[in-house]
Structure 1
Amino acid sequence: MIYKVSGKSGMNHNGPAAIRERSRVRQTNLEISGVKREDAGRFTCVADEIPKYHTLLVVSVSASPPEELPPGSNVTLHCEVKGLNPGSTVQWTGPDGRPHAVSETVHLQRVAPSDAGTWVCAFSYDGQTYSENLDIKVRDPARKVITSPPPRIVDQQTTYPSCDLKPHSGVGRLGWWLWVAVGGGCLVVLLLVVLVIVLCKRSRRRKRKLQKLKNGRQSLTPKKYCQCNCPTAAASPRRGRQKAKPSAPPLQPLLME
């Protein structure tokens, strides 16, 4: 079992199959990643106790040797189809459309440039035909590999037939120009640094002169003071001084009968 959904509880259950680690279920579809040859075979899907079957075919084509072939060499073509029913046939077809022997393996002897191209491995299953392509490259005999001749040794010195200069003469000239360019760049950078320093010092001197002139002008200006013209307050009465008592009224004569 790979995957199961319980109809009563709706819970998902993973089976013990090894392919479960490389597969996942989306809705009702099973997606397998990194397909291997051992994954080929018949898969069963049961829904509402009704089984449905699907066969997975794994096809692989290869050539031995796989690299570009020189004319006159031998090569073997392999077409392996896993999952086919017993008795199924595999047919190879050449680039010119000519069919070859009905077999999963084809041996080509003394290949020629006409054998280069796309070879097709075709097979039938369940009333349908499937195919897989394989490209074969054969080297053109007219194309020659140009190799440089080894240097001639005369009097224990290496000679170069296409050039009269020494091997490292070009490298020496290039290094000389490189050093000149580096020295000129360093000189320009040094001059820029000196110019920046001189300008900074001049700017500081100007600021100091302006500050001195400003301080001298402030010392020449007369100082101003604030005066208050407010009236003086009345003197407060002294403490301990008593007010004078009023004099007694004069005595009136007493009238008698």
Structure 2
Amino acid sequence: MKTIVWFGFVLGALSAAGEVILKKPGQKATFQCSVETHTQNLVWNRGNDPIIRVNLKTGFPVKGPKHKDNMKLRGTSLEISGVTEEDAGKFICIADGKRKEVTLLVVSVSASPSSELQLGSEATLQCRVKGLNPPDSPVQWKRPDGSTNSGSQTVQLKSVAHSDEGNWQCMFAYEGGTYIESLEIKVRDPVPKTTAPSSSTSSKDVSKPTCPHCFNPPPSTDVVLLGLSWWMWVAVGVGCLAVVLLMVFVIVLCKRIKRRKVRMLRNGRQPLNPKMYCQCHHPAAAAKPQQGRRKEKPSALPLQPLLA
């Protein structure tokens, strides 16, 4: 009987310790509740402040003061999309008298100026962990060779060497567990600098070919004016002349057509010549006598008085 009681006590202690979820900024975190379905009210809290509550009678969730836009309820689980460092902390689910705690740790590892470092340059490696309790829990870096930089979240590399290339590990402990986040570092050799040719080099040395077996074409003798060679200017001149001649031809042709129209109009207004009349060879018909009229005698002229 004592064994059963002790076993239940251990299970209760493990349940109270809760679950730890490790996420990077921007990732999605899902917290599982202790039950998949509930017969009473369901509440998700952040610490002692409610995030969201579901009343079994209405079935509608009610948002609390600690609710954020990136938090959603999926069944009995709480989902956080686009995790930020401000989301780190302890979340508690209470459903049907059961309680479950979930701790969200947000870890961000970075190298400045980048994860690809140049040999001999300076760099900074940083590991930030949000959600630890206490917040100043020890965080240390483990080098690729296995040595550690204990008690510091930041590593300063004054002169990057080839031995710094490899997998760096950010290590920290929380509630009896050890957690590791890795960062891959690459080291590149510096790019050799190219020296500019000296201005004191004589013109004779410049004219000499640098490669004895290479063929250097002679300098071009083309006359360049406004960025165009002479043959391009000739082509432009010929094209302009052709355009001018075409315009002159069109103008002369139009004038000739206009004159021809004027002549045709003038010829159309002149009277027809006698030769243009129609000549008929048939004899003309005799005039038809008028009927129904009597031929009257002409009246006598009035007499004029004689002058004395």
Q: Smaller-chain TM-score range?
A: 0.5 to 0.7
In structure 2, give the amino acid aligned to 1:145. Answer: P
How far the C-alpha of 1:71 sits from its partner, in A, is 2.9
CA distance in 1, matches of 2:111, 2:96: 47
Matched, 1:129 2:178: yes
Residue number among 52, 55, 62 corresponding to 2:103 in the alignment: 55
Matched, 1:92 2:141: yes
Alignment partner, residue 74 of structure 1: 122
How far the C-alpha of 1:2 sits from its partner, in A, is 2.8
Alignment partner, residue 31 of structure 1: 79
* Residues 18 and 47 of structure 1: CA distance in aligned 2, closer, same or farther (over 3 Å): closer
Which whole-Å deviations, capped at 9, do the CAs of 1:224-256 have from their partners, x for residues lacking one? Answer: xxxxxxxxxxxxxxxxxxxxxxxxxxxxxxxxx
In structure 2, give the amino acid aligned to 1:51. Answer: R
Whose RCO is larger (CA < 8 A, sep 6+)? 2
How far the C-alpha of 1:145 sits from its partner, in A, is 3.3
Please tell me whether the aligned partners of residues 151 and 160 of structure 1 are also in contact (alpha carbons under 8 angstroms): no
How far the C-alpha of 1:165 sits from its partner, in A, is 4.6
Q: How does 1:82-161 map to 2 (within 5 A)?
A: 82-86=130-134, 87-140=136-189, 145=192, 147=194, 155=203, 161=210
Please tell me whether the aligned partners of residues 151 and 158 of structure 1 are also in contact (alpha carbons under 8 angstroms): no
Does the residue aligned with 2:150 lie in a helix, a strand or coil? strand
Does the residue aligned with 1:9 lie in a helix, a strand or coil? coil
Alignment partner, residue 56 of structure 2: 7
CA distance in 2, matches of 1:16, 1:52: 20
CA distance in 2, matches of 1:158, 1:37: 66
Does the residue aligned with 2:187 lie in a helix, a strand or coil? coil
Please tell me whether the aligned partners of residues 115 and 184 of structure 2 are also in contact (alpha carbons under 8 angstroms): no
In structure 2, give the amino acid aligned to 1:28. Answer: T
Residue number among 89, 104, 108 corresponding to 1:41 in the alignment: 89
Task: List runs of 5+ in structure 1 lacking aligned partners.
Answer: 170-257
How far the C-alpha of 1:108 sits from its partner, in A, is 2.2
Over aligned residue pairs, what C-alpha RMSD do you find? 3.3
Task: List runs of 5+ in structure 2 lacking aligned partners.
Answer: 1-49, 221-308
Alignment partner, residue 40 of structure 2: none
How far the C-alpha of 1:11 sits from its partner, in A, is 2.1
How much identity, in percent, do the aligned residues show? 49
Does the residue aligned with 1:111 lie in a helix, a strand or coil? coil
Which whole-Å deviations, capped at 9, do the CAs of 1:189-238 have from their partners, x for residues lacking one? Answer: xxxxxxxxxxxxxxxxxxxxxxxxxxxxxxxxxxxxxxxxxxxxxxxxxx
* Residues 40 and 145 of structure 1: CA distance in aligned 2, closer, same or farther (over 3 Å): same
- Alignment: residue pair count: 166
CA distance in 1, matches of 2:61, 2:91: 19
Which whole-Å deviations, capped at 9, do the CAs of 1:51-95 have from their partners, x for residues lacking one? Answer: 322111000011122253333333221100000011521121000
Please tell me whether the aligned partners of residues 74 and 110 of structure 1 are also in contact (alpha carbons under 8 angstroms): yes
CA distance in 1, matches of 2:171, 2:140: 5
* Residues 159 and 100 of structure 1: CA distance in aligned 2, closer, same or farther (over 3 Å): farther
Does the residue aligned with 1:114 lie in a helix, a strand or coil? helix
CA distance in 2, matches of 1:67, 1:125: 27
Please tell me whether the aligned partners of residues 168 and 184 of structure 2 are also in contact (alpha carbons under 8 angstroms): yes
TM (norm. structure 2) is 0.46
* Residues 99 and 155 of structure 1: CA distance in aligned 2, closer, same or farther (over 3 Å): same
Alignment partner, residue 5 of structure 2: none
Does the residue aligned with 1:106 lie in a helix, a strand or coil? strand
CA distance in 2, matches of 1:107, 1:101: 13
Does the residue aligned with 1:17 lie in a helix, a strand or coil? coil
Alignment partner, residue 289 of structure 2: none
Alignment partner, residue 65 of structure 1: 113
In structure 2, give the amino acid aligned to 1:134. Answer: L
* Residues 4 and 57 of structure 1: CA distance in aligned 2, closer, same or farther (over 3 Å): same
